[in-house]
Each structure stands twice: as C-alpha cells, then as structure tokens.
A = this chain, B = another copy of it.
Amino acid sequence: MRPSGRALNEMRTISIETNVVKHAEGSCLIRIGDTHVLCTASIEDRPPPFLKGTGLGWVTAEYGMLPRATNTRNRREAASGKQQGRTIEIQRLIGRALRAGVDRAALGERQIVVDCDVIQADGGTRCAAITGGWVALRLAANKLLASRLILSDPITDHIAAVSCGIYGGQPVLDLEYVEDSAAGTDGNFVLTGSGALVEVQMSAEGAAFSRSEMLQLLDHAESGIKQLVSAQKTAIS
C-alpha cells in the first residue's frame, strides 16, 4: 500500500558514515533511504555575545539544501540573498532539538555550530539533519574531551527525530517524499535516547486530526527513534 511497499511502521534503510569531512571536529553523512544529509560540527572558542560571562555554552544549527537536491532545481539561497522561511524554521528546530541533549555548563563558554546540508532529498530532511547532527555533535564533544579542554561530558543523551503522518488514511512511519506531499497530517517527533519527548510538531493543512491519531503517530515515532538511536550508537562506536 505504501509506494515503497514498506510496512506502516517500517523505517527506510538507515546509514551513518562518520568523519567524512577532514576539517570538521565532527562530521557524518546520514542516509535515510534516498535522503542524504551531510552534517558537520564546528567548535568555536567563543560563545555568542549574550552568553559572555555566564559560564554557559551554546549549540546552534544551520540548514541548507543544495540546489539540485530536489526533483526540480531550487534557487540557491545565497544567490537570492535570503534564506526561505522554511529554511529558517528548520534550522531553529534543529538547534533547539540538539540543545535539549546538551549540558551547557559542562560545555563551557564555547559554541558548537552544526551545519546540515542536504545533498539529496526524499522527505524527512529535517529529521535526518537532527539525527545526523547529533552524531557530528557527539564526535566534536569527544574531541573536546580528548583534548581535555572540558572535563565532563556535555552530551546528556541521544537526540533523534523521525516524521510520521496519516497517509491514505493510515498512520505511517518515516514518510518519503511522495507520501509526505500526499499526507493529510504530517508530524515531526524529536525524542531523547531514553524516550522522552523534546519536540512534537504536528500539522494538518487539509483535514484536522484527532487525539487518537496523534497517539498512533507517536507510537510509530517511538519505534522509529529506537532504530535511529541504535544506528547512532553503531556509528559512534
């Protein structure tokens, strides 16, 4: 019934390749099916100005999509002179999500910038960016620990994300593009490794949804997140 033949609660193939960019303190290429996102983490010695003198650090994210990551070419945001609303919304979400797994006092007065650039898009790019961004962040934190610039681990838990939606009247896990564009309700769920909720964003442009549909999607999300966290563990080990 799903275009890919997947079961309602079946994730696409997950692959996380680490250390793909030699300059970055942490990096990975995450592939969720045909969605490929390159994530790098860059450590900066100074925190953003609003944190100067507080002893706290910061984690922020930027998101981009290569012009031909999609079926038809998108205008390059650098050339058009501004980031689209969608881009800004996504990168704010990634930053908030990753910070939920960070002890900012342990990080100290520095900033880690996580860049998530979509090489190829097939639905779920923001979720892949969060899941892969966490791996890059984890690897950068390892470098800080190894160099003894910080002494206690600033990463408090895994952070991973997955999309779910009502497709063809059924709750399905990990929407690919053709499902996403046809879905009545569409949700993104960010959870910690221990299963607590960090972000829930559910949206219905067409038909409104019920409380029970919401809970069915959450069930799917919890099962998907378990697989993503497991893939993160394999990648960083």
| Interface positions of A from 43 to 97, Cβ below 8 Å from B | 44, 62, 64, 66-73, 76-79, 81-83, 85-89, 91-92, 96
Could you tell me if B81 and A81 are in contact, using CB atoms closer than 8 angstroms?
A: yes
A68 to B112, CA, bound (A): 12
One complex includes copies of this chain to the number of 6
Find the residue from A72, A73, A187 having the highest chain B CB count within 10 A: A73
Is A115 interfacial (CB-CB < 8 Å)? Answer: yes
Given known pairs A81-B82, A199-B203, the reply for A117 and B208 (CB within 8 Å) is no
Kindly identify which residue among B22, B34, B64, B113 contacts A73, using a CB–CB cutoff of 8 Å: B113
Collect the chain B residues with CB atoms within 8 Å of residue A82's CB: 78, 81-82
Is A204 interfacial (CB-CB < 8 Å)? Answer: yes
User: How many of chain A's residues have a CB under 8 angstroms from any CB in B?
Assistant: 64
Residues of A within 8 A of B (CB): 21-24, 27, 34, 38, 40, 42, 44, 62, 64, 66-73, 76-79, 81-83, 85-89, 91-92, 96, 99-100, 113, 115, 117, 119-121, 187, 191-192, 196-206, 208-211, 214-215, 218
A78 to B69, CA, bound (A): 16
Q: List 14 A-B contacts (CB under 8 A).
A: A21-B68, A23-B120, A23-B121, A24-B68, A64-B78, A68-B115, A76-B115, A78-B82, A99-B205, A187-B200, A192-B208, A198-B203, A199-B202, A201-B201
Could you tell me if B62 and A67 are in contact, using CB atoms closer than 8 angstroms?
A: yes
A78 to B117, CA, bound (A): 12
